[in-house]
Structure 1
Amino acid sequence: MRFPFRRKRPLVHTEHVFIEPRALPSATKGIFFKAVFSARWILTDEADHYTPESMVITELVRMATSVTECWDALDSKGAEDALNSALGRPRPIHSLPDSELSARVQLTLSSQARADAEQYHEDRTRLARLRYLKEQLYSDPEMVLLDRLEQRPGDIETLDIKDFQRLSRSLRVGGTWWYPLLDCLEALSKELPRQHGDLIAMKLLLKAFKDTLPELIDRHGLQDLADQLLPGPELSPDSKKAADSAKY
């Protein structure tokens, strides 16, 4: 009995340059590197593949992504060195233990991506400074005053620490009470049926104004709205009798 025999093809090194750049994520949100790969690989006879280039570039992008996503977009050279260090040594292709794959990569960053990355870092730096100033304004308004004078020495004649202290108190009260209260009113307006929640929120506020400082309603032109939404004053028994008598 004769068994079918398939001649085993010799192992051959294949080299290929993937000239079409691939996008690789960076650690900077929304910014991608452009990568051009030059690869060399060995596939065994059992790993016969119709389009080995597609399999290889898919594996390279998979491995490269885990490296570049840890690097800031503005440090493309550092990311490139780390990537070449990881891909330069031959390693098996995923699910093909007898194969070998190594590569060299060139990373670049487009001018628009670089500008976006620089703007992203500027925004983060500015946000960190604003948070720092907020903390200082809460705890030590004098530090904010000194910071202002350092940036604008000419304002020394006009700035008053009382203004910063007043602002500090206002922000503390706003952050502790007013902002959460306004958030509750907004949630009330959204979660109840359409328009019904808005009416309830407005009635609550108008009633509070009417019971405490009714002149605010007139001052801000809300009298018509108050008359429409709030019930009128309750009549005394004598007034009710007089009103009933007037009907007949």
Structure 2
Amino acid sequence: MASSSPSASPVTPASSATRPGRRRQRSVRVTVAVALLGAATALVLVALPTQSPLWLSIASVVALASGWAAARIVYNELAQSRREAAGDRAAQAQAYRSMFSERASEHAEFTTVMTDRLVRRDRDVAALEDDVVAAEKRAIEAEARVQREARRANDAQERLVTLTERVQELEIRKAEQADELATWHAEVDVDAVVDLIAWEERVAAGSVSPVQEQKHA
């Protein structure tokens, strides 16, 4: 956008530089035409009081020639002004055409740059969306793993509770068996003592009876 102003700057100084010269030429030509008309008018005014055919004829011819010369000068000035105006319009149109071409090229370049930026932005957005989707998948997988680990921890806790209860039951049964074994040993010892006492009594009774028989004999 900034390159369009330098391209139009050469046209503006050139036209502005030629305008003072053209104005000076126009002022000189118009001054000459006015001077001719003034001279013709003065000559006619001078010749009228004389009422001389010669001076009136000379004044008429000079006035007519001055009028035609002034008209020619004005016509040439008008034609030149039109040509210069047409040239100025053509130069201005060419300047606008070149400026429009530069603006069009700059607009095309700007459009290309913005299109590339939009494409990169869309690509970055797509990449970010893919990253977000991947992160969501990883989060879902991590949550699933956490849930599985939580279920495993719950199962392990339940198994630990079950094993603890089983150990307690086994300890209770072991204590009961130990009590039963102690009771059984106690009963066995009592029976053995009773049997030993009875055997000693029988032995004692058996040893006494032969002695008594010998005394009677």
TM-score, length of structure 1 as denominator length: 0.17
TM-score, length of structure 2 as denominator length: 0.20
Higher helix residue share: 2
Q: Which has the higher contact order (CA 8 A, sep 6+)?
A: 2
Higher strand residue share: 1
Larger Rg: 2
